[in-house]
Amino acid sequence: MVKAAAILAATLFSAAAVQAETCRQALALGLDVSGSVDAQEWQLQVEGLARALNAPEVQQAFLAMEGAPVSLAVYEWAGDASPRTLIGWTAIRSRDDLADVQAQLRTQIRVPHGPGTAMGEAMRYGGALLAQKPECWRYTLDISADGKSNMGPRPERVRFDAALADVTINGLIVSTGSDMADPAAVARELDMLERYFHGAVIKGFGAFVERARNYSDYERAMTRKLLKELQTVTVGWLDMPDQATWNTPH
């Protein structure tokens, strides 16, 4: 009888702890799978994300606040009207949760998408995903891309949609050059794309653009980007400025 009561008490305590749990950040990652991304580059992108989630420093950042996990979702986008969710919202409470996300990423199969780059549509899709997590402290949307938007709603307008008002949008840009490309040409391409992202895509508190020299460099760039995002929330939440100053168009 005493043992049964103890088990019941432990179960109730565990349930209450989960119910009281706080989501410190909702993080949605949008991967570019438009016509400029071939099968090998798609695989490098998905595998690069999986490996970034396995980096010890990234795992430590995800798990830095016990009782206040990060919720993670991953989707892919292109130029058609069918962005696809790869990983639904997952609360990251342990390394096992991160391992489950990595395993799910590695079982994904590439599907055909339109040839264009509808970045504004991708941003709206990410905003709709984030709206499913109304209880989180902070909302972050990541857009990976290797080119400018060339169809659909204009991202420079979409980023100030009401649905994205409280969302920080960051970017991860990738050069289309190969491993053998001239470094100066790669730098010029990334400079151009970074200016575009600053002018049309990113916004919010601490928003930034991370750069990858090519898709083979995606793992390194994604690792750096995740660390910046997760550490900003862990360390800087109490020092954040008033929300009214975050989303003012420049």
* pLDDT (0 to 100) of residue 13: 34
The beta-strand segments (E) located in the chain are 25-32, 70-77, 84-92, 139-145, 167-174, 209-212
Compute mean pLDDT per 10 residues along the chain, 250 residues long, and list them.
41 42 95 91 96 98 96 93 92 98 96 87 97 96 96 96 96 84 90 98 96 96 97 52 42
Q: Which residue segment(s) compose the domain that 99 sits in? A: 22-245
The whole-angstrom separation of Cα 218 and Cα 49 is 8
Residue 192 lies in a domain: yes
Q: Which two tokens stand for residue 239?
A: 């020092």
Q: Determine, yes or no, domain membership for 7.
A: no
Domain presence at residue 29: yes
Residue 177 domain-assigned (yes or no): yes
pTM: predicted TM-score of the whole model, two decimal places? 0.84
What pLDDT does 232 receive? 62
Do the domain assignments include residue 3?
no
Q: What is the structure's pLDDT at 76?
A: 96
* Pick from 148, 109, 129, 113: nearest CA to 30: 129
Count: domains in the chain: 1
| Domain at 236, CATH number | 3.40.50.410
153 part of a folded domain:
yes
pLDDT for the residue 20: 62
Q: How many CB atoms lie within 10 A of CB 39?
A: 8
Is residue 2 assigned to a domain? Answer: no
Is residue 172 a part of any domain in this protein?
yes
